[in-house]
Amino acid sequence: MAFSSNDIVQMHQAMALASQAMFITSPNPRVGCVIATAGGEILGQGHTQAAGQAHAEIMALNYALSRGREVSGATAYVTLEPCAHQGRTGPCCDALVKAGIGRVFASVQDPNPQVAGQGLARLQAAGIEVQTGLLEDEAREMNIGFFKRMQHGTPWLRLKTAQSLDGQTALNNGASQWITSQAARDDGHRWRARACAVLSGIGTVLQDDPLLNVRAVDTPRQPDLLLIDSRLQTPLNARLWQEKRRVVVFHALRDVDRETALTAQGAALVCLPGPGDKVDLHAMVQHLGQLNYNEVHVEAGHKLNGSLLNAGLIDELLVYLAPLLTGPGHSMAALPQLTDLTDAQAWQFSQSSQIGADLRLLLRRTC
């Protein structure tokens, strides 16, 4: 389908608005909306607010109303199909019909089963011209975790690691501060901020006593913290408790005293025993979907990284590569030794950028 240059410009603006919602909409998708005339004049624009607040279409309609702009007959450019169900807010498709919108361009159909084409159908039934597919790939990328959760019931897991050119995340003595530059570390915090939750393991907590929060960028909310702690060893005086946020601890063994102490500290405990007295990682990821997490940012040690990778649970690798050769040390993941290269995990580069002195690589599985 051919789109005019004006249509493309307006949808790019809607996409830019959606990106402004990157840190705030969880568990809802990040959506932008532009309402414009046939001549390209923008009458209203906006993006989805925090969960329970106005969606992008309502923000754009309110923008136009507050400025006395008449939107009847205008075109709405939306990066995701307008919703058709009553949640904490009303159906956006009905609001567009009521406002007299003449055309709606939606980048992609909403994968939410409660919508899934119903919003577009109701717009068409009201006599509104509807078109889809404009910047569809960009729209999916904007909400890659939301699409995965709606279609598969589990979140998008992104594993972040910082390492030297020869693949080491720390020296043999455990020293790892700092392999990458300040610019790369700040960039890593932006990826933390966009996630619904940060996932780590007890090994990292005991060795580094990290905060595991967002500090380098302004964010209106802190991601939840998820800990895999099979034996409930998380110290009650760990620094991670300093941040006011939801903490979920996944464990495999029962210990009433430790469970009572951690619960009193504010943690939500989930017991998911698996083989070898370890947490059942597949069951954990299913549980994360039930908690409505779209994107989960993994920052863990080589043992947990290896377990997640071996289980096929990581969707994307976020690798910061420093221009250093450090010699023997700790690798990014404890993977089994192979005797044949055809058995190696295959990943595909999807993006590369220089961040300060370092290289940021994004990789996804090839199948």
Catalytic sites, residue numbers? 57
CA-to-CA distance for 266 and 247, rounded, in angstroms? 7
Q: Check the CA dihedral 104-108-114-117 and report its sign.
A: positive
And the tokens for 36? Answer: 């414009």
Q: Are 155 and 149 in contact (CB under 8 A)?
A: yes
CA 88 to chain centroid, in Å, comes to 21
* Helix-helix angle 92-99:118-125, to 10 degrees: 20
- Structure token digits, residue 33: 């909306």
- Give bridge partners of residue 250 from the DSSP assignment: 228, 270
| Residue whose entry in the numeric block shows the structure tokens 């990458």 | 180
| Pairwise CA distance, residues 366 & 346, whole Å | 6
Provide the token pair at 166: 């020869």
Helix and strand numbers, DSSP H then E, in the chain: 11, 16
Angstrom distances, CA of residue 130 to CA of 111, 117, 118, 151, 333? 17, 11, 12, 24, 48
Nearest Cα to 159, choosing from 365, 18, 20? 365
